Each structure stands twice: as C-alpha cells, then as structure tokens.
Structure 1
Amino acid sequence: MTTTGSRPVPALPAACLDWCRAQPPALLVADEYVEIDLDLWNLRLAERGVDLRLVAGGPDGGRVESGSGFLRRSDLWAAGRRARGSLEESVVALYMCAAWLAGHPQRSGIRRGLPDFRLPEWDRAAWRSVSSHGYPLVLHEVVDWLDAPAEAMNLLRNGAPHGSAGRGVPDLGYPLASLYLASLGMAWSEQTIVPVDPAGIGSLVHAGWTEVESLGRLTPRRYQRYLDVVSAWADEAAVDPLVVEMWLVHHWHDRRSAVTPSGSSAESPPGSRPR
C-alpha cells in the first residue's frame, strides 16, 4: 500500500492493471455510449417548463431529434466545452449528463423522474446569484474552479451563501455533479477530474480503501481523496484516470454477477439510489 500525501492508497490490483493496459484508450472512454428515449426526455422537459430539447446521435452517426438516440461520452465533453461560454450551454450540458447517466445500465445516481436544477420560485428572490430562469449562476461559474476539484464540487452542490457564488444547484448528487465537472474539465489538456459512482466506490472498498465505505459518506474533501487514489493508480498503470474509473465500475458489476443470484437486492451498489 502506497500513500498520497499522508493518506494510504490501496495497492493497484493486478486485474485493474491488466484490463487498463489492454484497452484502446483513445476510443474506450470517448465511445462509451447509452441509448436514450429523446421523446420521453423532451416531453418531460416541456412539461416542467425547461426551455431546451435534447438531441443525440443516430445509428449512422447523424443527428436525431426524436425517437431513440445515442449519447457518447465524447458528446458530453463537447457539451462541456461549450458550457464554458455561457450559463445556457451549462444547463444543456448538465441535462445531457443527466440523460447519459440515467440511461447507463451500469451506473446510478439519478433519482426517478426528471431532475430540476432550478431554485423554487419562492426562493429565488432571496438570492442575487440566480438567472432569470432560476438556475444558480454557480452552474457556470464553477468552470473557474476546476483546478481545485473539491472546491468545485462544494460550490456546485452547496454553493457559497455568503459570497458571490450564491446557492448550490438543486437535485445534484455526487455521480451527476462529478460527471458534469469531468465534462467541463475535458477542455483542459490534462484531465484529473473523473466521475464517481457507487459501483466504483464499492470496487475501491473491496481493494482496501477505508476512507469511505459507501457513496452516502462522500464529502467534497473525500471526493478529492477519491480522485487522488484514482490518479495514483492511473500513474502506476500509465493510463488515463478515466480508464481506471471505468474499470472500477466494470469490476464491481463483474464481481457481483459472479457471486450474486440474479434479482437479489444485493446487486445494487452500496450507497446507490433507486432509479
């Protein structure tokens, strides 16, 4: 077991090293895709008065605006780069991340129904850092904090009531917040922010990580420690941290499918929310 700063880092599992080095890193993460029901998502958005429509890719690579479509991680990265320019694009990027996460068969963290990232109307007048549509401005301003992931996570989820950042973003758990921050971070040359998922936490705990036993115990500071461990493993394996994060999720599901009867409640990752 090595250390990052004064904290212990579990030894890199041989299975993680072998899997990560066997993958085509240029394509593996960028092409991770989910199928989403555009009609359902856009109907829900319209019903809630959210002024945007999601689009996705078709089977032939073209753009589709209705029916079923595919969202790739590279689509989220492109949306994250656009989000650095305006609050409106930040809202689009966050809903794209929500759709991708909700549609992923091995990831969790989105509650049932459509998330609403606006402050309630009765609460908006008390905060200056809110757009005319009710979105906390920190959703866009957080791009200036990406070199300090723990601070970025804290601002995004909790806000800074006594400063210019104002309120945090409602309906935002760690899996979605971290996926959004990772998408924003892809505009940088070095990517150090990766998503966090209940399954990934479960794999780290299985490998000997003792700082957090489930996603429910995560804090912004512990999220930074999670990033430190993933980065340490990535450095040792000489791969991108995003590849290590993918292994964490895959490994949990592979391990559970080998030991858990189908349909058992034990198949849910520790700390995950029902979808």
Structure 2
Amino acid sequence: MSEGRATIGRMDESWSGDGADAHLVIPADCIAWCRNQPYAETVLEDVVEVDLDWWNERLAQCEIPAQVSGRDADGTQVWKGTAYLRRGDLEPGVHGMGLGDEPELDRLYMCAAWLAEHPLRGGVRRFVDVRSGRDAGTPFAAVERALVACRRAPALIDAAAYRDWSGWPVAPGVGHVLMSLYCWAIHSGAPDRPQLLDAASAGSLTWNGWLVASSVSHYSVRRYVRYNSLLHRWAAQAGVAPELVEMWLNRQWHSRLAEAAVRDGSAL
C-alpha cells in the first residue's frame, strides 16, 4: 500500500472555499495567544488520562485486533491501568510508543481514547466498534479501506469507491471528528496537514464571521476542506501553526460558554 505525504491540500478554490472566506481575518486575540504558545508543549503535550482496561477489555471482547496504550508517570509505555496519552503519541514513530501487529487500528483507537477522555473535546467515553456486520468473514475490510484512503495521496478529496454521500470514506463506527484526528496524526510534517474537526472550534468560527452553521457530524468532505483551508490561512497570517489556531478557537468557545453560565447564574 502506498502512503503519500500529500493530504487534503492542492485543491482548487471551489473546494477550499477561499473565495467565500477571503474576507475573514484572524482575530487579534488569537494571534496574541498563539504566538505565546510553544508548539511542543501546547499541542504535542496535550495530555489526557486514559483507562486502558476499559478500552482494551472491550477490544478483546469484540475480537478487534487492536490495543490502546499510554505512558505511566515515568513515561514508560503501558497497556493496563490508568495511563497518560499525549496528543503527540498519536503520531507515527514517536519514541517509546511502539504500536502492535495492527498499528493503524491501534492508532485509530488511541485517537478515539484521546478524544473521549479529553475534557474540551467531548469528554464522553464511548466505545467505537469498527466491525462491519455485512460480511462476517471480513469484519474489518471497510475500516481498513477507509484508513488506506486517509493515508494515501490525495487523502480525502479523491473521489473514489467506498465513500458515503458526503464524500467521507465508509468506516463503521468512525465519525468525522475521529477520522480527522487520525488524518492529523498520520500526516505529521505535511504542509497542508489535516486539522482536527472540532465542534467547539467550528462553532467559534461562526462567532468570528464564518458563514457555515451545521453540526460537524453533517460536514461533507468539501466543507471539511474549507474548514481546514481557513485554519491554515489564518495560521499563515499570524505566522503560527494551524493546530494553535484550532486550539484557540476551541478555548474561545468554552470560555464564552462559561461566561454565559455565570451570567445566567447571576440572573437567577
């Protein structure tokens, strides 16, 4: 299988939405915050605690050939108990975090665990079942095809078989958010690296003038490409990494919600 380095970039204007979004300029507060954040600490060291037993017991019960691992307090890789999982650990070739016999399924489930346990990324532990009920003999064929589609070049905008109505690769149990994080993880170093499709970040973009308003679960690939293109363009305007722009948007959303809750409480 060929795994290209190009991702969702090199799209024309009709895909990226650059024409419709050209008037949008990165907020000054975003620039100030992002320029004060060290990428390695803010992004790669974004750590969650993961209950490895909860995940791995369910993987074993479902006979899914994957394992979730993390690090203990000393940084050693472990597969049992409570562990720490860094966002940087989701990338390939990370020191001290070797994956198993099915590395891409391992990576996918580690992405799922990181999202589920992260307080600003959902914080709801839900098991992802990637088995397909259509063919008992090859229960993982669909998800394996989807992961190949994510890894090759071009990844998501390449119109091909095994796509659903919105253009995403068909992958049982894998939503758009999880697929976007998997794409982010495996395309480390790519100049047009796919960014995490986060509901809070997308909502914050609408507060900042982006004329797109729908649940990220209903995003087509075309809309995701547009979201990604805007993050990259804002990052270029500020001279920062697009991951930091996305994180600022996420935190802005939660900050506004907290402020609204305080106002509502004061009004009682």
* Structure 2: distance between partners of 1:174 and 1:43: 25
Within the alignment, does 1:124 sit opposite 2:135 as a pair? yes
* Structure 2: distance between partners of 1:90 and 1:226: 25
In structure 1, which of residues 94, 104, 115 is the aligned counterpart of residue 128 of structure 2? 115
Shift of 1:151: 3.6
Unpaired segments ≥5 residues, structure 2:
1-15
Match of 1:272 in 2: none
In structure 1, which of residues 172, 177, 181 is the aligned counterpart of residue 179 of structure 2? 177
Amino acid at match of 1:34: V
* Structure 2: distance between partners of 1:247 and 1:177: 21
Alignment of 1:226-245 (within 5 A): 226-245=227-246
Within the alignment, does 1:95 sit opposite 2:96 as a pair? no
Shift of 1:237: 0.7
Shift of 1:51: 2.7
Match of 1:65 in 2: 79
Shift of 1:216: 4.1
Shift of 1:135: 3.4
Shift of 1:113: 3.4
**Which deviations, in whole Å up to 9, do the C-alpha atoms of 1:92-140 show, x marking residues without a partner?**
1111100110000001297x631111211xx127xxxxx8452323134
Secondary structure of the equivalent of 2:67? coil
Match of 1:138 in 2: 145
Mapped contact 1:30–1:73 kept (Cα < 8 A): yes
Unpaired segments ≥5 residues, structure 1:
126-130, 162-166, 265-275
Amino acid at match of 1:22: N
In structure 1, which of residues 6, 9, 21 is the aligned counterpart of residue 35 of structure 2? 21
* Structure 1: distance between partners of 2:222 and 2:107: 25
Comparing both chains, which one has the higher relative contact order based on Cα–Cα distances under 8 Å and sequence gaps of 6 or more? Answer: 2
**Which deviations, in whole Å up to 9, do the C-alpha atoms of 1:128-186 show, x marking residues without a partner?**
xxx8452323134224544454348x87863999xxxxx71111111101001111111
Shift of 1:32: 0.8
Of stretches 209-218 and 66-75 in structure 1, the one that deviates more from structure 2 is 209-218
**Which deviations, in whole Å up to 9, do the C-alpha atoms of 1:181-237 show, x marking residues without a partner?**
111111x44252111111001110110101234324411100000011101100001
The alignment of Structure 1 onto Structure 2 pairs a total of residues equal to: 244
In structure 2, which of residues 60, 65, 79 is the aligned counterpart of residue 46 of structure 1? 60
Q: Aligned in 2, Cα 1:229/1:253: closer, same or farther, shift over 3 Å?
A: same
Mapped contact 1:79–1:183 kept (Cα < 8 A): no
Scaled by the length of structure 1, what TM-score is found?
Answer: 0.78
Q: Aligned in 2, Cα 1:150/1:257: closer, same or farther, shift over 3 Å?
A: farther
* Structure 1: distance between partners of 2:75 and 2:112: 21
Scaled by the length of structure 2, what TM-score is found?
Answer: 0.79
Mapped contact 2:200–2:249 kept (Cα < 8 A): yes
**Which deviations, in whole Å up to 9, do the C-alpha atoms of 1:18-40 show, x marking residues without a partner?**
11001012332111111000111
Amino acid at match of 1:6: G
Taking every aligned residue pair, what percent have the same amino acid on both sides? 34
Q: Aligned in 2, Cα 1:168/1:217: closer, same or farther, shift over 3 Å?
A: closer
Secondary structure of the equivalent of 2:255? helix
Mapped contact 1:200–1:248 kept (Cα < 8 A): yes
Match of 1:7 in 2: 20
Computed over aligned residues only, the root mean square deviation of the Cα atoms, in angstroms, reads 3.3
Mapped contact 2:53–2:81 kept (Cα < 8 A): yes
* Structure 2: distance between partners of 1:67 and 1:202: 35
Amino acid at match of 2:252: H
Mapped contact 1:203–1:252 kept (Cα < 8 A): yes
Amino acid at match of 1:113: R
Shift of 1:17: 0.6
